[in-house]
Amino acid sequence: MNFIDSHCHLHDPRIISDLSGIAGRARTADIQYMVSCATMENNFELTAQLSKDFSSILPCFGIHPWFLDSLSDQWKERLEQYLLSYPSGIGETGLDFTDKMADRDLQMAVFEHHLRLAMELERPINIHIRNAWDVFIHILKKMGKLKVPGLIHSYSGSADMIPMFESYGLYISFSGSVTNPKAKKVVTALKRVSKERFVLETDAPDIYPYLPEPQASQLNEPENLPAIAQIASRRIGMEFEEFSRHAYDNSLNLFHPLLQGKKDN
Ligand SMILES: [Zn+2]
């Protein structure tokens, strides 16, 4: 089986020193590609460098809604410069209203800018939405269907919204949260997604999955993706091979614009 980790953060200071080990273990686990998302301007360059050093790493550039305090005056120019310099996706970007003190207007303005770039440059966009579904839907309705597909990462919304998101050109990505034995909503959501529209991710080094033999460090990494697929497929009653093949094919469809110039592993 082949796998693609559709959303992770390999620049993260908690894991960067072990990246050769992480990439090697991912290769052993048949992870063909890892989509590594920057989160703010000061990790754009590192994310770009990783994609040059490792043929299996595909970069995304964006500003995460948690890190809007880090925005420089030139963030738009910098973002566009990186997007134009590398075969890359956009993200991590989105809306997170979990913190009641968050500046919602700024989050919306920054996210809408990322969405416009995704339309203009025809790049896949890697979207984070937490506790902001109504506003997200409002923005989607205003902007219209994506020109090339994007994804909602580590989906936490209701199953009922999924057909509408699919109609806007969005894929739905599932992380280790689907392995939580208490997680019912996310399993119901996974059952609802079209076979052609679900993908898998680790969000490494975060969202450590519920594994039979967990690592003491609890630092997640892409090699855990097949175990996530194993548990997720069992929970929705689909054969592991069929489930994994769909997830892989769907990720390839999503991220093929990033594969230019990448040699096969
Ligand atoms: Zn993330």
From first to last of its 265 residues, the chain has per-residue pLDDT tens of 999 999 999 999 999 999 999 999 999 999 999 999 999 999 999 999 999 999 999 999 999 999 999 999 999 999 999 999 999 999 999 999 999 999 999 999 999 999 999 999 999 999 999 999 999 999 999 999 999 999 999 999 999 999 999 999 999 999 999 999 999 999 999 999 999 999 999 999 999 999 988 888 899 999 999 999 999 999 999 999 999 999 999 999 999 999 976 755 4
What pTM, to 2 d.p., does this model score? Answer: 0.96
Ligand 1 centroid to 9 CA: how many Å? 6
Q: Residue 263 domain-assigned?
A: no
C-alpha of residue 92 to centroid of ligand 1, in Å: 6
* Backbone phi and psi for residue 25, each to the nearest 5 degrees, phi listed first: -65, -35
In whole angstroms, how far apart are CA 119 and each of 44, 138, 171? 21, 17, 16
- Structurally, the chain folds into a number of domains equal to 1
| CATH number reported for the structural domain that contains residue 164 in this entry | 3.20.20.140
Q: Give the distance (Å) from ligand 1 centre to CA of residue 197.
A: 19
Whose CA is closest to 96, among 41, 136, 60, 39?
A: 136
State which residues form the domain around 142: 3-258
For residue 163, the CA-to-ligand 1 centroid distance in Å is: 23
Helix (H, G, I), strand (E, B) or coil at 242: helix
Q: Is 265 part of any domain? A: no
- 217 falls within a domain: yes
Expressed in angstroms and rounded, the spacing between residue 32 Cα and the centre of ligand 1 is 19
